[in-house]
Amino acid sequence: MTVQEIRLELSPAVRALAARSDPAPFIESTVAAILAEVWGHHASNPALMGPLRASVTDNVTSILSLFAGRLRIEDISPPANFAFTDLAVQVGIPVSEIESAYWIGMVRFWRRWLVIAGEAEALGEGSMYEFVGAPTEALMHHLRHVTKMVVDHYEALAETMRRTQGDRRRMLITQVVEGEPAFPLDDIERELNYRFAGTHLGLALQATERARVEQAVCNLAERVGAQSSLLTVHGADMWVCWLRFPGSVTPDCRVAVAKAIQDPHVLVTAGEPAAGVGGFRRTRSDALAAAALRRRFEGFDQFLWFRDVSLELCLLADEHAARRFVEDELGRLNTSGERVERARETLLAWLSCGSSSAVASRFFLHENTVRMRVSQAQELLPSELSGRRAEVLAALRLRALLGEPA
């Protein structure tokens, strides 16, 4: 049934009783009950008590007017023009407490109404049935209509404030990142609840669902031993998170961070830890650069450290030059084929590890097989490996990323 369809059958006795009832006792008992059961800690706050009392006053008078036949459900106005609701949003009172207050207020109103209804019955002005039956229906319609108005207004205003606050936070973070803050850093720290002293570790998180990112970083700082964290939107499917540590970021801490975010639907790249406000900027830049590399090429793990691809990022600033470098350094080792691919993979591991036994353990091969493949790879190189180990290692890393020659 819509608001417009509600028609209340209130007897003349009910209308007369409501018309002559003093709203003051209803208001005082309702305010006292709400304070006792919900907001007692706000009783000494005049800034809150004024709007609360005004809201209760409007609700009580509108119910009595409804009972008296002077007001229709569809004509009920927002209590005190939402003054208390607006204040509740601003100070962080949850909407569930407002709903509880309305139920408590209804109970308190009804207790007072039953008292005066009993007095009216004793005077022969009407039966308790008519004083209770239709007014109960009217009171429930009033409660449903008003709470819907209040809750809808609360949620709309809260969403607007969240969006506004989010926009301001992003603006402040952008100013810090770009090195042009319009406010003192101390003020920005207080507003962001994040300090720039210490060591920062930046994470770029890519996901299609915001909820997955928020879940991934929930309590992340506590889990990895960081003092605080800061999260902001960077793009349609990208977020940046900073973790602040009081000292250096140890190898154990790196392992803890990588293990803490294991949702396969959230791809993470981590920058190099760095100190101070300059480190805050640099570690973010590192993480985003690694994230951009991940978008260009396949084959990366769910969690990727900037340090693991810093060489590739440097060399791929000019992809055409990088591909030519690979061709020049690898020669025939840059060609296609399963045998050449095995030789490349083994030589890359051998140059990275520096040990045939380590490579054998990694790939579950015999050491003689490793030596044979390394020898085959060297035969395909255009120059002696001994004089160009660093160049060949870099070329092999690029080849693994770039894939087949263009």
Per the listing, tokens 């054998």 go with 360
Tokens of 342: 């095995």
- Residue 189 falls inside a structural domain: no
- Residue 230 falls inside a structural domain: yes
Handedness of CA 16, 141, 28, 78 (dihedral sign): negative
CATH assignment at residue 285: 3.30.70.600
13 and 154 belong to one structural domain = yes
Domain count across the chain: 3
Contact criterion met (CB below 8 Å) for 318 and 295: no
Tokens of 111: 């207790």
Distance CA 121, CA 88 (A): 41
Pairing state of beta strands 199-206 and 267-270? Answer: antiparallel
62 and 155 belong to one structural domain = yes
Q: What are phi and psi of 18, to 5 degrees?
A: -65, -35
Q: Output the pLDDT for position 206.
A: 95
**Residue 37 sits in which domain range?**
3-162
Distance CA 246, CA 244 (A): 7
CATH assignment at residue 133: 1.10.490
148 and 63 belong to one structural domain = yes
Distance CA 93, CA 38 (A): 11
284 and 324 belong to one structural domain = no
Q: Output the pLDDT for position 260.
A: 93
CA distances from 114 to 197, 350, 357, 394 (A): 64, 90, 91, 87
Distance CA 204, CA 177 (A): 14
Q: Output the pLDDT for position 4.
A: 44
Contact criterion met (CB below 8 Å) for 283 and 289: no
CATH assignment at residue 324: 1.10.10.2840
Strand partners, 229: 243
- Residue 17 falls inside a structural domain: yes
Can you give the pLDDT of all 406 residues of the chain as single tens digits? 444 445 678 999 999 999 999 999 999 999 999 999 988 877 777 878 899 999 999 999 999 999 999 999 889 999 999 999 988 887 778 899 999 999 999 999 999 999 999 999 999 999 999 999 999 999 999 999 999 999 999 999 888 877 777 788 888 898 999 988 878 899 899 989 999 999 999 999 999 888 899 999 998 999 999 999 999 988 888 999 999 999 999 999 999 999 999 899 999 999 999 999 999 999 999 999 999 999 988 889 999 999 999 988 988 888 888 888 889 888 999 998 899 999 999 998 888 887 888 888 888 888 889 889 889 889 999 888 888 888 888 889 988 888 888 7
Distance CA 163, CA 233 (A): 12
Q: Output the pLDDT for position 6.
A: 54
Q: Output the pLDDT for position 245.
A: 96
Distance CA 257, CA 76 (A): 55
Angle between helices 12-20 and 95-122 (to 10 degrees): 110
- Residue 190 falls inside a structural domain: no
Spell out the residues 6+ positions from residue 238 whose beta carbon is closer than 8 angstroms to its own.
204, 205, 206, 288, 291
Per the listing, tokens 């603006």 go with 171
